[in-house]
Structure 1
């Protein structure tokens, strides 16, 4: 696998950290952040605050980071590796999303959030850090440190990936595909983390505003077709928990006489429960929540909302599906940790 140095990059040294979903693209002009009228989702005051944040530029660099006990690398990935099939994807790409992203690429000049790629090999980044060959060190918090490597020292780190046959997209399917269609952008800003460090968490479903009579019909269908267990039964592969008001129960999804993809929990949930029991065929009408979001949601949820809790896919099952080029249903995986947005910027034009 060919991993490249970032030819022109910047790091935000203001000490501010933003969620990974905050912003994907930004303009940098004369070594300063330059968000303008094109960025519509931020107020003038918010843009002024962001534009005032200090950044430092580095050429031909990679960034090794340590977050708690997790090590990873921020670098550049040639889109040729994606086009060759060595980057394994597992999620459906939506044309409308890609169209908007292609348009935005022309309006900005820097990527501000890396895609997330998992890989098999566990690289000893600590040995590179201990040799003190990095150019700069930035301590962003007690748990989060970034080391900047440039030139030959950076190349030594990227060469660690030459014997890696595949990488797996954990987040960034649309950005990869958008770049593959672009006529002027030939690489993708990337965060590389060993699968040993990555955690796959579940994504839970909310069916909003379900009438009590409709829920009873769905419940009758489920009890007649599935094994139903106590609501306090711990979840595991093949089990989902359904909650409505004060009622909750666990459902054993039906095993299919096939491979891991067909027995993927989200596929079975969509086909066996959401479409058959609740008669919902457009999953765009659902809400999707992470573990943390679900805890907060339960405190304020409507009594008419159906909460469906899921169990995460295992890493080996995920890799098996990706290696077979299976396209999982949307919102099948939620990987952690995710690298912050608006911290490191890769200039692409």
Structure 2
């Protein structure tokens, strides 16, 4: 079973992408989605967050919501707003944010390869979120949100994508937030063959973001069964070379000091960390260093020698901070469930950490050095999972740029 294959993408009609594409369904709540669709009747949020078209008190997991999403998708196809390509293609997809570009491949990935761990994961999934995506896929008979994959950079694949992206794009949109989304169709037989061979030679792909979407695709395929070449045995994804993808920091805040005053807390921290007050923000510049904001002051924490294990999960900064500080000193053993801890993606900046502590909402904040793609792949290769809230990827893929119909 090959890792990937081309597919007949469902795309915005020429000139309509700007009206259609939307942020991923899971980066906003219902109230925010309702605001985002105001004056935008073609926003893909009508498909991915269809509760926006139902009464305000509608349960977002009600049967009517999934049915409405399927209805909206069918209407956009019938109206010619979305059109399906006549023959299977790959697509080059470039994201540009703050002057930095990453160029990836839109594909469908093999569910069987995912089940066999050739498409590797690094997170646990939640059943409720899986169930939501299963119902969305099954009711709409489509995969409308791509899984974000990464692959080890290879000149063979980079070369084809670079060549493809020199031509006239099928869509070129600057979305809200200033991110530029550009798509090219790759339909030449020779290019398709070269891409398939280059990816197959890699042997494995890695899920960066979209664990619930890929797990849901696997469940839908198992439920439907049927021939191995059926569309539901493949799931929508975009894969980027690992040397172009940037992981941002994912920072931590705690509501209290677990009964300690500031002096006693710092004394406990000093058992495993060197503490140095700094002027301005203490943004970490290397692994095993952390920023801490406490009592109106930033501190640089440096883990003392001899405390970093060799295993791929234990050596992560998120693991080290938890092992030596958050659990033993602040008493948070389960960061997935403990309400005393919160997480802020690096896109918000360290100023957000300082603001929330200064407001009295939180007692202390920690800034982390970003996890590397090499560390993520090492964890996945070892068959392990990352601690919660270890990675924050920017920019985000757009929903609606390319979708995958399952019939």
- TM-score range (shorter-chain normalised) is 0.7 to 0.9
Cα distance, 1:187 vs structure 2: 1.7
Distance 2:18 2:393 in 1: 24
**CA 1:209/1:341 → structure 2, altered by over 3 Å: closer, same or farther?**
farther
What does residue 195 of structure 1 align with? 242
Highest RCO, 1 vs 2 (Cα 8 Å, sep ≥ 6): 1
Structure 1 gaps of 5+ residues are 25-31
Cα distance, 1:347 vs structure 2: 1.4
Q: What is the DSSP-based 3-state SS (H/G/I as helix, E as strand, rest coil) of the residue aligned with 1:162?
A: helix
Choose 239-248 or 217-226, whichever is displaced more: 217-226
Choose 1-10 or 268-277, whichever is displaced more: 1-10
Q: Is the CA contact 2:17–2:171 (under 8 Å) kept in the aligned structure 1?
A: no
Q: CA RMSD in A?
A: 3.5
Residue pairs, 1:220-299, within 5 angstroms? 220-231=267-278, 235=284, 236-253=286-303, 255-283=307-335, 284=337, 285=339, 286-295=341-350, 297-298=352-353
Aligned length: 339
Q: Is the CA contact 1:244–1:303 (under 8 Å) kept in the aligned structure 2?
A: no
Residue pairs, 1:1-349, within 5 angstroms? 2-11=3-12, 13-16=16-19, 17-21=21-25, 35=46, 39-40=50-51, 54-59=81-86, 60-68=88-96, 69-120=101-152, 121-122=154-155, 123-124=158-159, 125-130=161-166, 137-141=170-174, 143-150=180-187, 152=189, 155-156=192-193, 157-182=195-220, 183-184=223-224, 185-208=232-255, 213=260, 216-231=263-278, 235=284, 236-253=286-303, 255-283=307-335, 284=337, 285=339, 286-295=341-350, 297-298=352-353, 300-301=355-356, 302-305=359-362, 306-349=364-407
CA offsets per residue over residues 235-255 of structure 1, 9 Å max, x none?
220111121240222222352
More helix by share: 2
Cα distance, 1:44 vs structure 2: 6.7
More strand by share: 1
Q: What is the DSSP-based 3-state SS (H/G/I as helix, E as strand, rest coil) of the residue aligned with 2:18?
A: coil
- TM-score, normalised via structure 1 length: 0.83
Q: Is the CA contact 1:87–1:169 (under 8 Å) kept in the aligned structure 2?
A: yes
Structure 2 gaps of 5+ residues are 29-42, 57-68, 225-231
Q: Is the CA contact 1:118–1:170 (under 8 Å) kept in the aligned structure 2?
A: yes
Distance 1:190 1:38 in 2: 19
CA offsets per residue over residues 100-124 of structure 1, 9 Å max, x none?
3333333322222211111112421
